[in-house]
Chains A and B, each alone.
Chain A
C-alpha cells in the first residue's frame, strides 16, 4: 500500500432533496482529498472521526430534512474504514472536494 493511499480520504455525499447516490440515482457527488493538504485543525477533525475520539453526531433533533450526509473512507491502522457524517460536522475543505456528476 502506497504512502499516498494512507493519506487519501474518499468522499461520497449522499441524500439531499434530489437523492444523490441512491440505488437507482443518476446523480452522484464524489471526490477525494489528501489529508496532508488540509489545515492541521481539519486533519485532526477528520482523523478524530475515524479513531472514535470525536463522536459522530446522532441524527439531529428536530429532523434536518433533505440534508446531505457524507461517507468518508480512509485507510487506518485497522484497515479501510468508512464513517457516515452529517454535513454540518464535515469541514469546508471536505465539502468543497466533491463534484456533482450525472451518470
Chain B
C-alpha cells in the first residue's frame, strides 16, 4: 500500500468537505481524504500495538521467512512514502538503490551471523528502504515501518545511503522497536539513539574487519559533505570522544550533563562513550563480547519504553557476569566504563 504523509489537518479537510462554495468534486475529495487519513493513522497505531503484543505473547511463532528480502522504493524527490517500487534494486543503475538494497541485506547478515537474529523483527521481515526522499534532504530516518534516505545537499551532506553505519543505525531502530521498545524522550530516547550508534558502528567494523582498537568510532563520516569537510568536521558524532570539536554535533560525555527534555541525539553521548570504552578495554572485536552483552539486554529485558540509563547499565553489568563469567575482564570493563560516565 502506498502510504502518504498527510499534511492537511483533519479539521481543515472536514471544513472543506462542508463548504458549499466549493465544487462537489473538491468537497468529495476532501471528505475522502479525511476518511483515508483516519484509516492510515489507525493502521499505524494498530501496527504498533501488534508489535507490542507479539513481543510478549507470540515469541514462539515461526519465522515468516528464513531470511529477509530487501525492497527499495524511489520517492522521486517527493515526501510521499513509500514511493515507486524499484525493480531489481540491488543491481540498479541508481547507486542509491543498489546501496540501500545491498547494505540493508548486509546489516541483516551481520545480525544473523553475530546475534542469530533473523531481520529487524527476528522473523525474516522484509527490509523496506525509500530513497531520494524530499529535495536535497539532509536526513535519514526510521519511520516505524521502514528506512527513509535523503540525497543530502552535496554541501553539508552527501547521499545518506553512502554511510554503512547510517544504514546500520536506521535498521537498528527497527530492532529496538521489536525488542526494548524504547521511547524517544529523556533517558530512553538517549538509549534508543545510542543503541543505533553502537550497532551501526559494530556493523561498520564487522564489514571492514576492524577491531575495537582499530575502528574509528565515528558516526556518519562517509556522508560528510565538502563544505563541512573544509571546516575540519569529520563526522556527525564521535563515540570515543563525544565532545569532539570535529563532530558536527558534539555531545556531553557524562550522565550528570543530561537533563529531561534533551534531544536523544544529544543524550546518547554518555552511553555511546560507555559502550566504546568497554569495547576498547577488551581486546578483539566489539561484537564478540561487549556487543553480545548489549544485545542480550535488548533481548531479555522486555518492553521498556521509559527505561532509565541507570537501569540499562545495571542490566549490562548483570549480563556480563552471566554471559562471560569465565572472562572477568568483560564485566569489569563494562562496570568501569559506566562509572566513568557517571553511572
User: Which residues in A have some Cβ–Cβ distance to B below 8 Å?
Assistant: 14-20, 22-27, 29, 41, 44-45, 48, 53-54, 59-68, 88-92, 95-96, 100, 102
B131-173 Cβ-contact flags toward A at 8 Å (1 or 0): 0001100111111110000000101110010000010011001
Cβ A64 vs Cβ B144 within 8 A: yes
CB-CB nearest 5 A-B residue pairs: A19-B249, A62-B144, A19-B265, A66-B141, A65-B173
Cβ A102 vs Cβ B156 within 8 A: yes
Contacting residue for A65 out of B166, B192, B249, CB 8 A: B192
Chain A positions within 8 Å of B166 at CB level? 17
Number of A-B contacts (CB under 8 A): 143
Contacting residue for B9 out of A14, A18, A54, A67, CB 8 A: A54
Chain B positions within 8 Å of A96 at CB level? 135
Chain B positions within 8 Å of A65 at CB level? 141-142, 170, 173, 184, 192-193, 196
Chain A positions within 8 Å of B182 at CB level? 63
Contacting residue for A18 out of B6, B134, B139, B250, CB 8 A: B139
Chain A positions within 8 Å of B249 at CB level? 18-19, 22, 24-27
Q: Is B304 an interface residue (CB 8 A)?
A: no
Given A62-B177, A65-B173, A65-B184, residue A26 in contact with residue B79 (CB < 8 A): no
Given A17-B169, A65-B173, residue A91 in contact with residue B11 (CB < 8 A): no
Nearest CB in chain B to that of A69: its residue = B263
Nearest CB in chain B to that of A16: its residue = B139
B218-238 Cβ-contact flags toward A at 8 Å (1 or 0): 001000000110010100110
**Could you tell me the distance between the alpha carbons of A99 and B189 in the complex, rounded to whole angstroms?**
27
Given A15-B265, A88-B6, residue A64 in contact with residue B142 (CB < 8 A): yes
**Could you tell me the distance between the alpha carbons of A17 and B220 in the complex, rounded to whole angstroms?**
9
Say whether chain B's binding surface is mostly helix, strand, loop, or mixed: loop
Given A61-B44, A65-B192, A66-B170, residue A22 in contact with residue B142 (CB < 8 A): no
Cβ B142 vs Cβ A18 within 8 A: no
Q: Is B248 an interface residue (CB 8 A)?
A: yes
Cβ B265 vs Cβ A27 within 8 A: no
Chain A positions within 8 Å of B128 at CB level? none
A-B CB contact pairs (8 Å), 26 listed: A15-B265, A17-B170, A17-B265, A19-B263, A22-B263, A23-B266, A24-B243, A25-B250, A26-B248, A45-B7, A45-B12, A53-B11, A62-B48, A62-B181, A63-B173, A64-B143, A64-B184, A65-B193, A65-B196, A68-B139, A88-B7, A91-B7, A95-B79, A100-B153, A102-B228, A102-B231
**Could you tell me the distance between the alpha carbons of A54 and B14 in the complex, rounded to whole angstroms?**
12
**Could you tell me the distance between the alpha carbons of A88 and B9 in the complex, rounded to whole angstroms?**
10
**Could you tell me the distance between the alpha carbons of A24 and B249 in the complex, rounded to whole angstroms?**
6
**Could you tell me the distance between the alpha carbons of A89 and B243 in the complex, rounded to whole angstroms?**
33
In the complex, given contacts A16-B265, A18-B236, A19-B248, what are 11 additional A-B residue pairs having Cβ atoms less than 8 angstroms apart?
Answer: A15-B263, A18-B138, A48-B11, A54-B12, A59-B183, A60-B144, A62-B181, A63-B192, A64-B141, A64-B143, A88-B5
Q: Is B123 an interface residue (CB 8 A)?
A: no
Q: Is B130 an interface residue (CB 8 A)?
A: no
Contacting residue for B177 out of A19, A63, A88, CB 8 A: A63
Contacting residue for B141 out of A48, A67, A95, A102, CB 8 A: A67
**Could you tell me the distance between the alpha carbons of A38 and B15 in the complex, rounded to whole angstroms?**
18
Q: Is B8 an interface residue (CB 8 A)?
A: yes
B12-32 Cβ-contact flags toward A at 8 Å (1 or 0): 100110000000000000000
Q: Is B51 an interface residue (CB 8 A)?
A: yes
Chain A positions within 8 Å of B310 at CB level? none
Nearest CB in chain B to that of A92: its residue = B7
Cβ B138 vs Cβ A100 within 8 A: yes
Nearest CB in chain B to that of A53: its residue = B11
